[in-house]
């Protein structure tokens, strides 16, 4: 497990949303899309819990990972992380979690990628990897408002991309489900990450197989503290940090 | 190995006086991927109950200033599963295991204690009469001195190993509790978490259980004072102390108020390598302080 990284670039890409490029030694580490990093807020003990942040892209040539996260109010841990300057180090644990499975889609398949808000970032590395495998990706990204939209161009470069905003200020007015109604679900698979309400609707209404990625308050991030459990249909209680965060459609009671 | 850190307590030959606290280390498998568990003084494993427990609904944790609230609710696979699986795994390491025993009735505690104390891997029991996060049992045994003593007596009768009682700070007099259980207990572990509550931005309790147990550096002064009080009242009883330890000076503080050994809880989440790191730092600290043994400073707060 890696324990440290150096911030090499940071930018403010949407309302309260930061993008950090972090140099890490990827020599002996393979990162799957959908995995996350547990970031320590600071060396002090004011914030005792790390913050789980999903990995939005991996650059194995330059040995960097990119994290996109939303900073909370001034006293929040994520805000303190956002204040980390370029050149400073972050205390990280990575890679954590299971990540998305890629080997059950083939070249020429067509898949639907659905992201909501701060659930969008891990889907970017996923879309890149699927694209590398010759899988056709269509993206639907939902945000609250125009100010919250990010990564539209990045996804557009990989495939057809629809943006939905709840307040109608940008793209399609409404939710990601409104876009699905419009374009249909004639895809081989779907991959989703976002708020639980969105995942629940997709899990229950889409007729195609797919994967969802869950979010929960975490303690340790490594399966020890039992804070982030969810109820599965067949395997009892599972831990989101180590059994997930990615689960097959229908596996979890949402 | 640094003999200056060896500590002998009932049932326990500790290489060093540092161990992970119950509930913050699960049953060791995850940490075994990070470092060699045999480096630890001991391991206090997650609470075992007679039947499997699913625990509380989420959210189960919330961060607070220099601490956290948890209301896991003693989720565990049940004592039989733990003996068959988790303890067998731990038996491959050279480290004493302290089994945390919980229940909702005296009969539950007795049954779990009888079974788990028979395991050769288990060197001592930690009687959990102080979990604030379950509706029945747990803390109700830990707030009334007479009930606590009765439970300790009943468990001692069946246990094949020494019994340490984990005290709750949520009492009027921790000294009265300690005195009462010490009639039967081989040792004390203290303190468990303090009952607390955090609200969300809508003014509602954030945890599904509404209340949770406060842990982390925020509670260290409370723990230090309680160990100080109990050590003065009971000069000879073995005490394994815990409550907010985050660095080597915290360990020195707990020994200074009379603890024999210490456990590290919440900080295992902040830094999963902390137990290993603090053992190394403690070894260095003892040399820097020119001590012949870590216990040279035990109880120095009193003189």
| Span B38-54, pLDDT tens digits | 999 999 999 999 999 99
Confidence of residue A162 (pLDDT cuts 50, 70, 90): very high
Per the CB < 8 Å rule, is B68 touching A219?
yes
Share of chain A above pLDDT 70, in %: 100
Identify whether B131 is a catalytic site residue.
Answer: yes
Chain A residues near residue B67 by CB distance under 8 angstroms: 48
Share of chain B above pLDDT 70, in %: 97
Token pair 């807020």 in the structure block, residue: A41
DSSP assignment, residue B56? Answer: P
3-state secondary structure of B5: helix
Range B203-230 average pLDDT: 97
Domain A110-213 belongs in CATH node 3.90.1150.10: no
- What pLDDT is recorded for position B138? 62
Residues A225/B269, Cβ–Cβ less than 8 Å: yes
Average pLDDT for chain A = 96
- What pLDDT is recorded for position A1? 78
Is the pLDDT assigned to residue A196 strictly greater than 70?
A: yes
Chain B residues near residue A217 by CB distance under 8 angstroms: 58-62
Among A223, A227, A230, whose Cβ lies nearest the Cβ of B70?
Answer: A227
Q: What is the pTM of this model?
A: 0.95
For residue range A131-144, list pLDDT tens digits in order: 999 999 999 999 99
Share of chain A above pLDDT 90, in %: 97
The three-state DSSP-derived secondary structure of chain A is: CEEEEEEEEEEEEECCEEEEEEECCCCCCCCCCCCEEEECCCCCCCCCCCEEEEEEEEECCCCEEEEEEECCCCCCHHHHHHCCCCCCEEEEEEEECCCCCCCCCCCCCEEEEEEEHHHCHHHHHHHHHHHHCCCEEEEEEEECCHHHCCCHHHHHCCCCEEEEECCCCCCEECCHHHHHHHHCCCCCEEEEECCHHHHHHHHHHCCCCEEEECCCCCCCCCCCCCCCEEEECCCCEEECCCCCCEEECCCECC
- What pLDDT is recorded for position B41? 98
Is the pLDDT assigned to residue A11 strictly greater than 80?
A: yes
Range B104-118 average pLDDT: 95
Residues A83/A230, Cβ–Cβ less than 8 Å: no
Q: How far is CA A129 from the centre of its chain?
A: 14
CA A70 – CA A117 distance, rounded (Å): 9
Is the pLDDT assigned to residue A7 strictly greater than 90?
A: yes
Is the pLDDT assigned to residue B246 strictly greater than 90?
A: yes
Range A228-240 average pLDDT: 95
Residues of B within an 8 Å Cβ radius of A: 23-26, 30-31, 33-34, 54-55, 58-63, 65-68, 70, 72, 75, 216-217, 246, 266-273
Is the pLDDT assigned to residue B13 strictly greater than 70?
A: yes
- What pLDDT is recorded for position B130? 78
- What pLDDT is recorded for position B141? 85
3-state secondary structure of B225: helix
For residue range B126-182, list pLDDT tens digits in order: 999 977 666 666 677 888 999 999 999 999 999 999 999 999 999 999 999 999 999
- A2-96 and A110-213: identical CATH topology: no
Nearest CA in chain A to B68: A48
- What pLDDT is recorded for position B135? 63
* Chain B interface, best mutation among A38, A220, A235, by max B CB count within 10 A: A220
Chain B residues near residue A93 by CB distance under 8 angstroms: 272
Among A48, A216, A229, whose Cβ lies nearest the Cβ of B66?
Answer: A48
For residue range B81-98, list pLDDT tens digits in order: 999 999 999 999 999 999
Chain A residues near residue B271 by CB distance under 8 angstroms: 40, 91
Chain B residues near residue A236 by CB distance under 8 angstroms: 54
Confidence of residue A42 (pLDDT cuts 50, 70, 90): very high
ipTM: 0.94
Domains of chain B: 3-296 (3.20.20.70)
From the list A108, A168, A109, A122, the residue with the least C-alpha distance to A144 is A168
- What pLDDT is recorded for position A189? 97
For residue range A52-94, list pLDDT tens digits in order: 999 999 999 999 999 999 999 999 999 999 999 999 999 999 9
- What pLDDT is recorded for position B239? 98
- What pLDDT is recorded for position B1? 61
Please pick, among B131, B181, B245, B282, the residue that the annotation labels catalytic. Answer: B131
- What pLDDT is recorded for position B140? 74
> Among A18-22, A193-197, B140-144, which stretch is predicted with the lowest mean pLDDT?
B140-144
- What pLDDT is recorded for position B133? 66
Task: Confirm or reject contact between A220 and chain B (CB < 8 A).
Answer: yes
From the list B176, B105, B163, the residue with the least C-alpha distance to B134 is B105
Confidence of residue B115 (pLDDT cuts 50, 70, 90): very high
- What pLDDT is recorded for position A156? 98
CATH number corresponding to A2-96 = 2.40.30.10
Domain parsing of chain A, residue ranges: 2-96, 110-213
- What pLDDT is recorded for position B303? 73
For residue range B51-78, list pLDDT tens digits in order: 999 999 999 999 999 999 999 999 999 9
- What pLDDT is recorded for position A217? 87
Per the CB < 8 Å rule, is B61 touching A45?
no
Question: In the numeric block, which tokens belong to residue B21?
Answer: 């606290």
């Amino acid at each position: 497990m890696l324990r440290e990284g150096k911030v090499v670039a940071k930018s403010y890409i949407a309302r309260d949303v930061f993008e950090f490029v972090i140099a890490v030694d990827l020599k002996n580490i393979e990162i799957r899309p959908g995995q996350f990093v547990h970031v320590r807020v600071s060396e002090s003990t004011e914030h005792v819990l790390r913050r789980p942040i999903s990995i939005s892209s991996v650059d194995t040539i330059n040995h960097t990972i990119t994290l996109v996260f939303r900073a909370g109010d001034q006293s929040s841990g994520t805000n303190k992380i956002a204040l980390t300057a370029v050149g400073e180090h972050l205390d990280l644990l990575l890679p954590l979690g299971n990540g998305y499975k890629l080997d059950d889609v083939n070249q020429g398949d067509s898949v639907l990628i659905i992201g909501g808000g701060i659930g969008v970032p891990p889907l970017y590395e996923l879309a890149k990897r699927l694209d590398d495998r010759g899988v056709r990706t269509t993206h639907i990204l939902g945000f609250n408002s125009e100010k919250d939209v990010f990564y539209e161009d990045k996804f557009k470069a990989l495939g057809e991309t629809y943006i939905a905003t709840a307040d109608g200020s940008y793209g399609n007015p409404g939710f990601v489900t409104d876009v699905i109604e419009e374009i249909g679900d004639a895809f081989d698979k779907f991959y989703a990450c976002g708020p639980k309400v969105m995942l629940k609707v997709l899990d229950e209404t889409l007729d195609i197989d797919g994967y969802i990625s869950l979010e929960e308050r975490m303690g340790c991030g490594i399966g020890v503290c039992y804070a982030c459990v969810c109820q599965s249909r067949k395997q009892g209680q599972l831990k989101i940090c180590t059994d997930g965060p990615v689960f097959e459609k229908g596996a979890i009671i949402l | 190995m640094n003999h200056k850190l060896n500590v002998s307590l009932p049932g326990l030959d500790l290489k060093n006086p540092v161990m992970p606290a119950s509930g913050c280390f699960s049953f060791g498998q995850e940490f075994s991927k990070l470092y060699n568990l045999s480096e630890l003084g001991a391991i206090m494993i997650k609470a075992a109950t007679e039947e499997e427990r699913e625990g509380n609904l989420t959210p189960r944790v919330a961060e607070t200033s220099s601490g956290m609230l948890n209301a896991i609710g003693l989720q565990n696979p049940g004592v039989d599963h733990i003996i068959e699986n988790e303890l067998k795994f731990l038996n491959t390491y050279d480290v004493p295991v302290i089994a945390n025993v919980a229940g909702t009735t005296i009969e539950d505690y007795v049954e779990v204690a009888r079974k788990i104390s028979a395991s050769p891997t288990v060197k001592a029991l930690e009687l959990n009469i102080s979990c604030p996060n379950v509706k029945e049992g747990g803390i109700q045994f830990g707030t009334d001195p007479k009930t606590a003593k009765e439970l300790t007596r009943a468990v001692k009768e069946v246990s094949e190993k020494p019994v340490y009682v984990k005290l709750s700070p949520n009492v009027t007099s921790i000294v009265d509790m300690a005195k009462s259980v010490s009639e039967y207990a081989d040792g004390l572990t203290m303190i468990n978490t303090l009952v607390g509550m955090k609200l969300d931005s809508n003014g509602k309790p954030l945890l599904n259980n509404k209340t949770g147990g406060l842990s982390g550096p925020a509670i260290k002064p409370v723990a230090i004072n309680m160990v100080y009080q109990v050590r003065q009242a009971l000069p000879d009883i073995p005490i394994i102390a815990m409550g907010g330890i985050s660095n080597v000076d915290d360990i020195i503080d707990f020994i200074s108020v009379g603890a024999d050994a210490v456990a590290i809880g919440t900080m295992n989440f902040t830094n999963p390598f902390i137990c290993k790191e603090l053992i190394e730092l403690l070894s260095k600290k003892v040399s820097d302080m020119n001590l012949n043994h870590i216990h040279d400073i035990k109880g120095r707060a009193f003189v």
